[in-house]
Chain A
């Protein structure tokens, strides 16, 4: 029994939950104190092992997978209540996941479906009126309608999700739904939105279940990797995960902000700080020989950020913008620019608004793209022509991009000017390091002009880099 719990903890660690020995010990101590019905067991493990709300979901998944046998508990298995935010699917022992039938390879077994799709109205109906079981059945049907799910799909998860959505006519369904709800009450709109979110979550859940039943250990490893939010590449994030990462980024910014403000020195003149002067005078027998002044001078560096807003780099750029603007108050001035093949200053968008609103407006109104294809050379040229005067010897310049220049001119001379004028230049590249300098990526051309080039493909790398820069 102990081994099972230890195994469970080991799996948690694979999923990114940092459980230490002390916590394991606490867990066992706590279990000694209490009775062993499933609910108490669940709460005990949750309180002692998982110290982060975001890891709740992973914990639930693993818990359901590991502790489904009734014999494990002294009491009869009771279907325990669903807590808000966690989808614990109770597994009465011995059920087989029904979505496994009919997907044994291309062409399908039983009812010979393959590429059928769901009628649109049915989708809308189920969302508007269906209960949880109906939503679940819808997903199961969707999974069974997609032919030939292979082991490769474990890794290419986005692809299989897309195929299931296509077979359910998800996007069309959403559109139809919004048309239907034009006249409906607020209440109905909220409920529909909730149902859609629930459907999305159920899709992930059922897909996980399906993979676990089929591929067991392999599937568990993949699922754990996907749940490890800190190590997951930004390119592989699902919608929900993007939201969680944004929250984490804001938290990171707040943490940095307090640290940055601590870099202060006392002034050499101005008002005398009486309390601290008296404190210092104890050293000299009560005679205040060394006055301490009130005024603190913060050291606040200047920042200029140039963000590539093309394709896949866009998400990462948004995270960085969010980070910097959350610390905004601590810096003397932050100038930010967006570019794809020409450059546009976006600082004014952040002046009064919420960060998310600002980013939305930038996409709508910003003039940073003529052709839609990245042209770093042209962008740097434009920057050099118009904005070079804002860089001083105290400025730190941050370039966010993957340096994919579409085989065009790199304008290295213009870029060198940046290096000459600024205090230091950093380049943050969210592309995996294996892809650097392949195809049209010319990061090495720009490298000599930067103080450092960082790889920033997931949250933990981002944290490390940010701690170094700010």
Chain B
């Protein structure tokens, strides 16, 4: 639990993650109201990173569930250890145990495999549950997430309803690949993280790479900001800016000239058609 919005900002800053007032307010609300937080935005702006940093700040574990199409209950929630159960049945059969004894045994804790969602619910103290790239999953998965997210409980046919021992802090991320159902959106607070402004990005670069010269940092950020305004298939995100800055540091470059940019362009641009577009314009973009 946080006591104020400023506390959120400062503790995240200590973990090297800069947040704006908007993000700090919404995180404060999410944690204190115990409501799941749905974070949307383009790839690479720091959504997943936010969850990780939050876990570090609150000194708790991060349980991560990576979503993909076809993700179902057995991978996300729980599964019975079928192989072990079969072996037990066979073993009992050989030692002449009767059926009622066997029946009791095979549906017990021993044969139960808890997957991320259930792990988060059964943790003794509140953890951060990160459900990453929820938009890559399908509608069926969303439906059964609903029960878990609203009441923090799940129903398992053989064991009954399992209630959460502690309420986890749930963070859902999405790249806007598809829309979510209203029922899911209703249960969450919403946060949209966009590409940062020039000042914000510069502050991030300076924080993460203090050894980088101020002038060079400013030039790098300005170049990337301009790239985003071009109509590229995939514009560079913050993680790419940081990668590029690290590359230039590694190569010992002090100045940003067209040759350096042309040589290291593939660090920030990942599609060939975009590279072609940018290469023609490097000189124009560097002039200031």
Contact = CB atoms under 8 A, between A and B. Distances in A.
Contacts of A62: none
Interface string A246-260: 001001101100110
Contacts of B285: 186-187
A285 B103 CA distance: 11
B186 interface: yes
A302 interface: no
Interface stretch (A18-26, A422-430, A437-445): A18-26
Interface stretch (B117-125, B175-183, B207-215, B236-244): B175-183
Interface in A242-275: 248, 251-252, 254-255, 258-259, 261-262, 275
Contact of A286 (B90, B176, B177): B90
B83 A190 contact: no
B226 A255 contact: no
A407 to B, nearest CB: 42
B230 to A, nearest CB: 7
Given A39-B21, A254-B177, A185 B185 contact: no
Interface residues of A, number: 48
B138 A259 contact: yes
A261 B5 CA distance: 45
Interface stretch (A48-56, A92-100, A170-178): A48-56
B160 interface: no
Interface residues of chain A: helix, strand, loop or mixed (majority): helix
Contact of B177 (A23, A251, A278): A251
Contacts of B194: 84-85
B40 A278 contact: no
A185 B284 contact: yes
A278 B90 CA distance: 13
Interface string A75-96: 0000000011100000000000
Contacts of B40: 53
Contact of A56 (B33, B178, B186, B192): B192
Nearest to B273: A354
Contacts of B140: 262
A44 B25 contact: yes
Interface residues of B, number: 49
Nearest to A279: B82
Contacts of B165: none
A185 B28 CA distance: 45
Nearest to A247: B176
B53 interface: no
Given A83-B22, A278-B86, A47 B191 contact: yes
A273 to B, nearest CB: 13
A464 interface: no
B194 to A, nearest CB: 6
Contact of B186 (A20, A44, A194, A254): A20
A281 interface: yes
Interface in A17-45: 18, 20, 22-23, 26, 29-30, 33-34, 39-40, 43-44
Interface string A202-213: 000000000000
A322 to B, nearest CB: 15
A20 B29 CA distance: 18
B29 A44 contact: yes
Contacts of A189: 284
Given A40-B25, A47-B29, A286-B86, A186 B281 contact: yes
Given A30-B29, A251-B179, A282 B86 contact: yes
B5 A34 contact: yes
Nearest to A18: B182
B64 to A, nearest CB: 22
Contact of A47 (B5, B25, B82, B283): B25
Nearest to A255: B178
B229 A30 contact: no
Nearest to B195: A84
B287 interface: yes
A190 B26 contact: no
Given A30-B33, A278-B82, 11 more contacts: A33-B29, A34-B28, A39-B21, A43-B21, A43-B26, A50-B190, A52-B190, A185-B287, A187-B226, A275-B82, A286-B89
13 contacts: A22-B187, A33-B33, A39-B21, A43-B26, A44-B29, A47-B191, A51-B38, A186-B226, A193-B229, A248-B179, A258-B139, A259-B138, A286-B90
